[in-house]
Amino acid sequence: MAHVAEFDAKAAWDGGQSPFRVSYGKMMMWFFLVSDALTFGGLLVSYGFIRHKYAEVWPKAENVFTHFPFIEQHLPLAYVGLMTFILIMSSVTMVLAVEAGHRMDRRGVTVWMFWTIVGGAMFVGSQAWEWYHFIVGTHVGGPEGHGGALRNVWDPATSTYVKQVYHGATMAVNEYGVPQFANYFFFITGFHGFHVFSGVIINLTIFLNVLKGTYEKRGHYEMIEKVGLYWHFVDLVWVFVFTFFYLL
């Protein structure tokens, strides 16, 4: 933006002002996001290692995520594509709310924040739906009634593993392939989904403040920018989760 060009970076280090030209809150949001990104980076790297190790027995995402709401057809990856679209879309509405805040346009902020919350809620709902189908597996609503796969299931009566047709997924066993697949799916998409859920709650809080006129009184809408950073970060993580879980 315009102010950066006039900014004397050298003199700024002499004190009395922020050499980064940002407020404390915004800087700390960035630092938090870096640390959170390190967590997700670690999780995805560990996922990549295990996946590589069991490459020959790892299930293919297009054989696992084939459902679409209200359509009883084999549609691989269609729903996750829609989820990705919803999240990118809500990222755009968020950035438009930030932009409206920079113009002190209270109505604009209200409208765009509202759509961001709607998009976020839709995404969380979609993820719950996808988890449901992943956990329940093929014997509910599966195409042409096929279902299940032979798995080693622990039998407490004999204290041995017995071969059994298994539907759906738990942490210990799943019908799609190696148990690690479900473990990483639950952990990483769950961790991300929890971030989205928190984001929706935070956005809702800020939205109520906008309605109350808190930021109008304060004289600036920087709070929208700060929660916007968090919301974009959630989108950013999803871009990677989408690639590593569903595409590769």
Among positions 82-121, residues that touch another protein (CB under 8 A) are 84-85, 88-89, 91-92, 94-96, 98-100, 102-104
Q: CB of residue 189 vs another protein: minimum separation in angstroms?
A: 16
What is the residue type of 208? L
Task: Output 91 or 127, the one with its CB closest to another protein.
Answer: 91
Show the CA angle centred on residue 98, arms to residues 237 and 8, nearest 5°.
95
Q: Does 172 bind another protein (CB under 8 A)?
A: no
**Minimum separation from the CB atom of position 61 to another protein (A):** 8
Could you say whether residue 233 binds another protein (CB under 8 A)? yes
Residues 179-218 as x/- pattern, contact with another protein by CB under 8 A: ----------------------------------------
- CB neighbourhood size of 243 (10 A): 12
Count of CB atoms within 10 A of residue 178's CB?
Answer: 18
x-or-dash string of contact with another protein, 8-27, rule CB under 8 A: -x------xxxxxxxx--xx
Q: Is 152 helix (H, G, I), strand (E, B) or coil?
A: strand
**In the complex, least distance from residue 248 CB atom to another protein, rounded to whole angstroms:** 6
Other beta carbons less than 10 A from residue 18's beta carbon? 11
Closest CA to 117 of 35, 196, 235: 196
Give residue 171's region: left, alpha or beta (phi > 0; psi -120 to 50). alpha
* Sites for another protein among residues 25-54 (CB under 8 A): 26-27, 30, 34, 37-38, 41-42, 45, 48-49, 52-54
